[in-house]
Amino acid sequence: MLGVRTLIGVITGTRRDKYEDQIAWIRPLAEATNDSWEAVLAPQSEFPRRGSIFWPRAAGAKENALVRFHAKENDVKNGGPDEYMAVDSQLAFEALDLRWVGDCEQVRLALTHGIELPHLVSPKYMIRCAGDLVVGPVSLVSDNTGKVVLDKNNRARISCYQLGEDAFLGITFDDETRTILAGSLPPTPYSYVDWDDDKLVMRRAIEAAARLKGNGTNLPRQVIEDATVQLTQYGADASARLELYRLSRAKQLAADTQQVILLAEEIFKGLRKHPSVVQEVQNFYEAQRDEIRAKIESEHAAEQAAVTKLRTARQEAEEALASAKRQLEETEASHREQVSGIEAALVGRIDQVLGNVPTLLADVALLRPFLEGRSSPPQPRVAWAPDWPVAQLKIAEIKELRSRMIPALRALGVATTSYQPIHAAFASGLVPVVSGARALEALEAYAHVMCGGRQVVVDVTSAIADVQDLFGKLEHGTFVPHPAGLIDIIRAAREHEGPYLVVLDGINRGPTESYLLPLLRLVGNHKASVPLFHPQAVDPSAPYQSEARLRWPMNLLLAATVIEGPTTLPVAPDVWKDSILAIADADGEFTERTELGDSSEVDGSSGLLDVAPAHDQLEWMSEELPHLHGNAKRFAGALAAVISDQAAQQAAITKSIVVPYLSSLTNDDQRAAEIARLEKTLNGELGEWVSLARRSIA
């Protein structure tokens, strides 16, 4: 492996291999070093023999598109020209600078009518507008005239961020500079914009205004103005700014009354031939003509002066360049003379050293203590042992769980039904993967009620490449634990009967196939173990020496969250063999976070976290998706304890098990066919659910 090297490159060619899979070649352009990017100046020497990197299974690759990836040595050693291959590859979002057009609304109008672009190779773009506002990602397409316009789909709620110049990175190659995001987008947008058609925006604005107003009896324009005052009176979050944006557009559309529309033709016919009107029109025409002529003459004179100034500057620059070339030639000649003298002195010194080897060895022995003292191993660390809380209140029945869970969710601003699929996953031995605006808060409420508040959150980053990285690393014979303390909560769980909760936050920031799948197998089989380091690699007295091979305790629950963003990776499809998808939406009536109160935990003898599979056979699942039938029965048995309505149970099974399976299908035609087939049996909204899920897991 080349280490943790993050590269940005351009796709120089694509084709189909003998298996009809798309493959591509990437020319590296820039490399991440510390907190900046540096150009790759000599790709031919760094990545022989082609000077480019082979990308297998390059689905969606397009020539001249920019891509962010890691590089490693090719797995196939056949002596061919492709010595390196790309992994963890994802197409980069390009930034289209339209600040010269104006604000978000002016940019929308320009993209609606079409603009000229030299090329259109990126699948999605971030649009830079005036005021450091960045809208996107959005899809752009070419119309029948060759101009670039907005794609007609998914324009009702587009994220909007406030980003400065330092958020962008210019990539230069082949005398062209293209701009991409330098890092990750903020976790939450500053606001949203609605770039849909006027008719749809008017309808949404009136509906939102009627909700805020409390009734829909007033004229649309009055309702919109009242709603605007109400939204701006107390400030706005990102969603409220979207409503303000829609209301502002709707106010302009509603400015002309219906009465003026009905009388416009009659008024025009009556005034068109009136002498005074004809004279005024003539006067206006002449005044406009004179004003335009004067403006053109003024601009022409200014341009002539600017051209003269540029010619003078060019002449001065050419003279300065000629002078610099002469100085450079003189300097190079001087350097050649110095190098020649240094080489002669170096050859003489080498001859002197080789002629007196004992003196050289004595010098090396004298300097060795100083050279070895430059680096020292880390000092031994003491194991971290936090004072984990123990709850006095025990929960033994579902109604006790419900009565304590709902207030905790409301205190954190989470929709009260969010706990149902989460609890059903734990009770059926599956891992809940939670998405949505309140994912972490939903798991915090669950830990407060069911685990006595004993919870550890591990932030997943792109630096986590395998399962060992979650627990710590070996440095100079000492095991250094991960700062989140995952290994310490495992040790604590062994000494305590009550449940603990570990949350992996943002699992799609890293490659789930390499670090998460081994962890899921470890959680699912409590007799299995994972090696962290060789037992002989650390001192026997080290505090973590006993953790060379690690087992997952039965009372330690595992959950995860997924996030949306351009730097995220797809979740490996095999993750859903041991997991379900849960949605934690925000409580619409939430205003501010409140105290959770005393914690509680599940009674170990209650069986709340050990539920048998469903007795019924779930015929609809066994017929439509037989390979998901086993997990569905396990999940349905636990789900029946918290949801009594059978229709609601089927919807929950569909969202938690069927939707992630469909979202993981990489072939668009296959996924569309499966959705069309299953919508007849399951739910007409299945396609919309899959589209929402793909934002974070695909």
Confidence at residue 562, expressed as pLDDT on a 0 to 100 scale? 95
User: Domain of 476: which CATH number?
Assistant: 3.40.50.300
Confidence at residue 144, expressed as pLDDT on a 0 to 100 scale? 84
What is the per-residue pLDDT across 295-340, written as a single tens digit (0 to 9) for each? 898 889 998 899 999 999 899 889 889 988 988 888 888 888 877 7
Same domain, yes or no: 462 and 601: yes
Cα→Cα distances 565→163, 181, 183, 695, Å: 15, 11, 11, 8
Same domain, yes or no: 123 and 217: no
Question: Left if phi > 0, otherwise alpha if psi is -120 to 50, otherwise beta: which for 34?
Answer: left
Same domain, yes or no: 543 and 430: yes
**Rounded to an integer, what distance in angstroms lies between the CA atom of residue 478 and that of residue 538?**
6
Among 575, 610, 645, identify where a domain stops: 610
Q: Nearest-5° angle of CA 508, CA 513, CA 515?
A: 80
What is the per-residue pLDDT across 357-400, written as a single tens digit (0 to 9) for each? 445 444 443 443 344 344 444 443 444 556 788 888 999 999 99
User: Does any domain span residue 626?
Assistant: no
Among 255, 286, 304, identify where a domain stops: 255
How many domains is the chain built from? 4
Range of the domain at 137: 94-193
Same domain, yes or no: 466 and 453: yes
> Which own/partner contact pairs does 101-104 have at CB distance under 8 Å and 24+ positions apart?
101/129, 101/130, 102/129, 102/130, 103/129, 103/130, 103/131, 103/133, 104/129, 104/133, 104/135, 104/160, 104/193, 104/245
Grouping H, G, I as helix, E, B as strand and the rest as coil, residue 90 is strand
**Rounded to an integer, what distance in angstroms lies between the CA atom of residue 291 and that of residue 282?**
14
Contact of 155 with 147, CB cutoff 8 Å: no
Confidence at residue 183, expressed as pLDDT on a 0 to 100 scale? 78
Evaluate the omega torsion of the peptide bond into residue 49 and state whether it is cis, within 30 degrees of 0: yes
What is the per-residue pLDDT across 530-546, written as a single tens digit (0 to 9) for each? 998 888 888 888 888 88
3-state SS of 511-555 is: CHHHHHHHHHHHHHCCCCCEECCCHHHCCCCCCCHHHCEECCCCC
* pLDDT confidence band for 257 (50 / 70 / 90): very low
Confidence at residue 220, expressed as pLDDT on a 0 to 100 scale? 53
Residue with tokens 């700062």: 483
More confident residue, 513 or 205: 513
Q: Is the dihedral of CA 328, 331, 333, 335 positive or negative?
A: negative
Q: Read off the amino acid at residue 695.
A: R
User: Does any domain span residue 353?
Assistant: no
Contact of 618 with 629, CB cutoff 8 Å: yes
When the pLDDT of each residue in the chain is averaged and rounded to a whole number, the result is 82
Same domain, yes or no: 500 and 576: yes
Same domain, yes or no: 467 and 585: yes
* pLDDT confidence band for 269 (50 / 70 / 90): low
* Phi then psi dihedrals of residue 587, to 5 deg: -75, 120
Q: What does pTM read for this prediction? A: 0.48
Same domain, yes or no: 81 and 113: no
H-state helical runs in 565-667: 619-624, 629-639, 646-653, 659-663
What is the per-residue pLDDT across 330-362, written as a single tens digit (0 to 9) for each? 888 888 887 777 777 777 767 665 565 445 444
Contact of 507 with 458, CB cutoff 8 Å: no
Mean pLDDT (whole number) for 599-615: 85
Residue partners of 205: CB distance under 8 A and separation at least 6: 224, 243, 246, 247, 249, 250
* pLDDT confidence band for 222 (50 / 70 / 90): low
Mean pLDDT (whole number) for 615-638: 82
User: Does any domain span residue 443?
Assistant: yes
User: Does any domain span residue 299?
Assistant: no
Grouping H, G, I as helix, E, B as strand and the rest as coil, residue 402 is helix
Least confident window among 268-282, 482-496, 674-688: 268-282
User: Does any domain span residue 673?
Assistant: no
* pLDDT confidence band for 3 (50 / 70 / 90): low
Same domain, yes or no: 160 and 203: no
Percent of the chain with pLDDT over 70: 85
Confidence at residue 275, expressed as pLDDT on a 0 to 100 scale? 62
What is the per-residue pLDDT across 588-606, written as a single tens digit (0 to 9) for each? 888 889 998 899 999 988 8
Same domain, yes or no: 596 and 479: yes
Same domain, yes or no: 459 and 529: yes
What is the per-residue pLDDT across 59-71, written as a single tens digit (0 to 9) for each? 888 888 888 888 8
Same domain, yes or no: 53 and 116: no
